[in-house]
Homo-oligomer: A and B are copies of this chain.
Amino acid sequence: MPLTFTVTKESKKTRARLGRIETVHGVIETPVFMPVGTQATVKTMTPHELEDLGAEIILSNTYHLYLRPGSDVVAEAGGLHQFMNWKRPILTDSGGFQVFSLGPLRTISEEGVKFRSHLDGSKHFISPEKSMEIQMDLGADIVMAFDECAPYPADRDYVQKSKDLTTRWAKRCQQAHKREDQSLFGIVQGGMFKDLRRESALELIDLDFPGYGIGGLSVGEPKEIMYEVLEDLIPIMPTNKPRYLMGVGSPDCLVEGVLRGVDMFDCVWPTRLARHGMVITSKGNLTIRNLPFARDFTPIEEGCTCYTCQNFTRGYIRHLLKANEVLGIRLTTIHNIAFLMRLMGDIREAIASETLAEFSQDFLARFGGEK
């Protein structure tokens, strides 16, 4: 059974909506933020800690798992859910974005992408068909079409060709994908060119995917440009399919994305930030690693109910981070994920009670106000 998606409420004042994605591994309430478990682990966390924080779905990376431990190993373990002991839904990306990020280590052709492993320099080739094969081995609930993600900035000609290739690859992915317990999402590309974005969307809608990723945003462009692209694009996207803004996860972008009709997000940002000694608070991000926190024996954020804030102080966490102790980045990661899970819960409540506009205004004013 592939996924079913139900919009349970549409906001009257904004494009936001509440939804429910049902998969064989459980239900996801949208709008949702998906923590990223690149190498079959959300860095520093156990799957049970993620469950306790309310994560309903996580993302894992095809490129990384293909190289290590190998998708055959994961398949032999019984698939990714069993391999990592995560019982809830998983989404895998297509490997496209990671492969394109390799820069000089890769060459693109109509057929696919040749590249060298960032681990050992070994040669590999991923095509749309190969990406589907790997993702079928991994066994996630939602899999993504193999796309080309144009860089920013890029000229119109490049972006046009890249978008066209992405559409042709999307068709090949659809033909190659066979697992009935997985749902394959297409990915809208087209860079910052609104007309190309619309073309891309219409071409993919023709293929009738059960959900659509929006790729190639948050790749270096000003946030305002991303918001404008979303405002232009989302109104032509189907209302009965999930819309997934890929690689976006800072609190302000989550709020702005939901206001514009996005249902799903993922980003390494909150967990990466945590490993760099930074924590998210409702008043902005704090570099808790810094000296002023050495003798601060209050929690990261007063009133936060996460394990970290209920049990440890800024001073202790700062000490752990300075001393390169693993517990330090465990505690900041827990807090950052907890923050985003709570934010998404608050957003869903605000949509339900038709107070999202006020909530957003208030949240963005506080979050941006003090850094």
Contacts and interface: CB of A to CB of B under 8 A. Distances in A.
Interface centre among A47, A68, A69, A294 (most CB of B within 10 A): A69
A315 B319 CA distance: 34
Given A316-B83, A319-B69, A41 B325 contact: yes
A77 B46 contact: no
A343 interface: no
Nearest to A48: B311
Given A84-B316, A311-B85, A319-B69, A295 B76 contact: yes
B39 A315 contact: no
A313 B44 contact: no
B329 A326 contact: yes
Given A39-B325, A41-B327, 9 more contacts: A44-B330, A68-B319, A68-B322, A69-B315, A69-B322, A73-B295, A73-B319, A83-B316, A84-B316
A273 interface: no
A320 interface: yes
B327 A44 contact: yes
Contact of A313 (B41, B77, B327): B77
A247 B139 CA distance: 47
Nearest to A319: B69
Interface in A72-98: 73, 76-78, 83-85
When all copies of this chain in the complex are counted, the total is 2
A45 interface: yes
Contact of A319 (B40, B46, B312): B40
Nearest to A64: B323
Interface in A183-197: none
B73 A327 contact: no
A323 B39 contact: yes
A43 interface: yes
Contacts of A307: 46
Q: Interface size bucket, A side?
A: 35 or more
A332 to B, nearest CB: 12
A158 interface: no
A355 to B, nearest CB: 37
B315 A77 contact: yes
Contacts of A295: 73, 76
Nearest to A324: B39
A152 interface: no
Nearest to A68: B323
B40 A73 contact: no
Contact of A327 (B46, B319, B327): B46
B294 A73 contact: yes
Nearest to A315: B77
Nearest to A70: B294
20 contacts: A39-B319, A39-B320, A39-B323, A45-B327, A46-B307, A48-B311, A68-B322, A68-B323, A69-B315, A69-B322, A73-B294, A76-B297, A77-B313, A77-B316, A78-B297, A83-B315, A83-B319, A84-B316, A85-B312, A326-B329
Contacts of A46: 307, 311, 327, 330
Nearest to A310: B85
Contact of A40 (B77, B294, B316): B316
Interface string A314-340: 011011101101110110000000000
A43 B297 CA distance: 21
B325 A69 contact: no
Interface string A26-62: 0000000000000111011111100000000000000
